[in-house]
Each structure stands twice: as structure tokens, then as C-alpha cells.
Amino acid sequence: MKPTDFSKHISDFISQHLPNEKGASRNTIAAYRDTFILLIDFLKEYKNIRVERLTLDKITKEIVIAFLDHLQKIRKCSCSTRNARLAAIHSFYRYLQREELAHLNEIQKILSIKFKKAPQESLNYLSLDGIKLLLRQPDTTTAKGRRDLSLLCLMYDTGARVQEIIDLTPCMLRLDKPPTIKIIGKGNKARIIPMLDAQIEHLKNYLMEHDLGKDFAGMYPLFFNSRREKLTRAGIHHIIKKYGKAAQKENKALMTEKISPHCLRHSKAMHLLQAGVNLVYIRDILGHVSVQTTEIYARADTRQKRDALEKAYVNVNEKETPVWTTDKGLVMWLKSF
């Protein structure tokens, strides 16, 4: 069967353009690939268009909008997920602008689809006492419990994203003084995060227990499952939710209802801010492109807002008491009205 124009261009886009021209990371390529798998499944199930007959002229602006609505209404995806899928589609159609001039009109219509404004949610983070409670939950008498404790500690200490933790290997750790960890973030950008000696005690024991400090293990996954395969996003989510539920049973007041890997990242950022660390340093630790992204923590920190208000309140009250309140004659005259 002769390949269609869609199959040719999507293959070139995924296998050539993204890795070679754009320098996209494996995770970005996987996310874009998944978007088009979902789109192809949608076209087959709801529009009766099979992939072997799928051509570019059959994908219109109206169909793309219907697909995005399907993601939210049927698959129950969030607004941010919808926008991420649309970003992948936009990227493909920007690529098509120079490859398929015959379809330029419809391409530009699809590129005109707007991103939805996602509702601004409050940051979900734990207090220091909440973090301590969470870290008390793993059973350190078992190998899995010791692994989970090392995982949770490292996620909090570094403020790393879940995929960044998944991709860690032992060679990315430097545990002699001064201890540091190399993290590969979005866009394959590397950052070096310093760690304190007290932070790496559990990690050292974990490395020793699994022989991960030896030269032959340098490229092994740092955290792995029972099959010695690196943990998945779903696996890490499961671990955190399990200990989050256990911590809630112990003290519900200290735990947020929805705990996730990003909750630990938010918690680390808030605690650094509350300790007086400059936003620029927090930006570098978290791997944000701009300090404007990091400013969300300053806007969300109610404790610092309260402290600022209290200081302002004290300054206002330093003024002398108005004269009329101490003038008994004036007070009596006012009362006579």
C-alpha cells in the first residue's frame, strides 16, 4: 500500500525533525508521539478514518478542536494536558508549513487554534513537619522501604521533577566533598545541585547496599524496581501516594489531600524561600528558565505575606496617639451632640 502524505510527514517529523533539527529530548519526542497516537485513535473511532487512509486534507481545524474537546470531556484530561497536546499539534503544523504549501490554508487555520486559559490553582505543598511525617512512613527494616526513603529524601532535597529522578544514574552523583548531583532537565539542560552531608546519609547507605557505587554500575538506573528496571512515573506516583495515605492516617492536619511528586518539589521551593534563599538561587535549583516562573512561590507564601503585614502594622502603630483621644474636654463636647 502506498504511504499517505500524513504518514510520510508524521514519520519524518518524529524520527528526523524533532531529534535532529530541534534537538528535542526523548521525553518530548515521546509526548508528541503519544499525542498523534491519541489523534489517530480518535479519528478511527469517532470519524471512521482509518490510519492507512488518513491524509492531511482530512484533518481540519474543526476536527482538531473536536479532538481537543474529546480529551477534556471524554478522557477527563486537564486544561494543561489539552494545551500540551495542542502544542504538539502546532509544532507539527509549523513543520508542515514549509513541506506542504498546497495545504497552507488549512495549516494556518489549525495554527490559529488558541490555547485555553487554565484555572490558576493554589500551590500544593507540605510544611517542614509534614515532610518529616512523610519521611517517617517507609519501613526501613526492608530493602524496598530503604529504597523508598532514599527516593523521597532525594526528591525533596533536590526539588527535582519526577522524570529527572527517573533518569538519574549513579555516575551523576558526586558524594565526596562537596557533594553534588547532576540533573538533566527539560530540553536536555543539565544543572548541578549542591547537597549537604546530612542530606546524603540515606543515599550513601542505599548505594552501598545495591553496589551502585562501583564503576560497572555507573550507568545503571539509580532507582529501580524488582526487575532491575528504572522506576516509571506511575511507579513513583504510587510510592508517594502510598506513604502520603499512611501519613494522613497518623496526622491528617499535616498532610495535604492530594500528594504527588510535584508536591515535594513545591515544598522544597517554599521552604527555601521561607529560609530567606534568593529567588535566583531557587530558580537555578529547580531548573526554571526564568525567575518569573519561580516567583509563583513568593506569591503563594502566606507566611511571608503575613510577616510583611505585621511589620507594616507595627510601623503604622509607632505613630503617637491622636491628640483628640486624650483631650477630655473635646471628648465631652463631642458626646454632648
Q: Is the dihedral of CA 230, 235, 240, 244 positive or negative?
A: negative
Q: What is the pLDDT of residues 268-287, one digit of tens each?
A: 988 988 888 888 888 888 88
Number of structural domains the chain divides into: 2
What percent of the chain has a predicted confidence (pLDDT) above 70?
86
- Assign residue 15 the CATH number of its domain: 1.10.150
Q: What is the pLDDT of residues 166-225, one digit of tens each?
A: 999 999 999 888 889 999 988 788 999 988 887 788 899 999 999 998 889 989 999 999
21 and 155 together in one domain? no
Residue 297 known to be catalytic: yes
Residue 186 known to be catalytic: yes
Q: Cβ of 81: how many Cβ atoms within 10 Å?
A: 14
Q: List phi, psi (to 5°) of 194.
A: -75, 145
Q: How far apart are the first and last CA of the chain?
A: 100
Write the CB contacts of 143 (distance below 8 Å, at least 6 apart in sequence).
Answer: 209
Determine the structural domain holding residue 85 and report its residue range: 5-111
201 and 104 together in one domain? no
Q: How far apart are alpha carbons 55 and 10 in whole angstroms?
A: 11
| pTM higher than the cut 0.85 | no
Q: Classify residue 276 as exposed, middle or buried by CB count within 10 Å of its CB (0-12, 13-18, 19+).
A: exposed
Q: Is the dihedral of CA 215, 218, 223, 224 positive or negative?
A: negative
Residue 288 known to be catalytic: yes
**Does a structural domain hold residue 334?**
no
Q: How far apart are alpha carbons 210 and 92 in whole angstroms?
A: 43
Q: How far apart are alpha carbons 202 and 143 in whole angstroms?
A: 12
Q: Cβ of 182: how many Cβ atoms within 10 Å?
A: 14
User: Catalytic: which of 9, 85, 147, 161?
Assistant: 161
Per-residue pLDDT, averaged over 47-53, amounts to 92
246 and 299 together in one domain? yes
Question: What pLDDT is stored for residue 109 in this prediction?
Answer: 96
User: Catalytic: which of 85, 146, 265, 268?
Assistant: 265
143 and 92 together in one domain? no
pLDDT of 73 over the 60 cut: yes
Residue 82 known to be catalytic: no
